Structure 1
Amino acid sequence: MPQVATRKVTISLPEELVAFADHKASEQRTTRSDVIGRLIEERRATELDALAREGYELYAQEAIEFAEQSASAFGEVVARERSPR
């Protein structure tokens, strides 16, 4: 697995969150930094999913409106073609 560039940062957290991160790190046999990093990554993925879902819903509504308008215009063309000349 390729190495990801990392940067050391200092943050202040409530004691109970530090204890939680330490407990999870111990359970998972990893580091506190890894636990916190994965939680942030999960949050980012959740937000990106929500944004994508929002975009798909907007696109779906636009597609429905376009289909309705196109169907009406197509119906007019078909009716003209079928009418005797």
Structure 2
Amino acid sequence: MTGTDSFGNTSSSSNGLRIKSSPAHGGKVSQVTYTDTCLTKVRYPLVFDTHYAGGTGSYTPYFTGITVNGLKSTSPSPAPSPPSSDSTRAIRWA
């Protein structure tokens, strides 16, 4: 991934690989594997968000069996920050 998708469209997101859900949709996200992925010009190479877009509801999202193998991230834009948890409970790794 080099800041563009497979059609050559430039991404406006600072996120790389992202898994998102919310209590409005919830449920289990499992057995996801990312292999040999290269990211360029992203601030947060990994984002796992269980409260995407502030969704509310009674369906608790949970992530299990997530594998990231061979991830490379170069040229962050802007400089990355340490792992954090914001008000939407997204975990971002830079």
User: Normalised by the size of structure 1, how large is the TM-score?
Assistant: 0.21
Quick check: which one's helix share is greater?
A: 1
User: Normalised by the size of structure 2, how large is the TM-score?
Assistant: 0.20
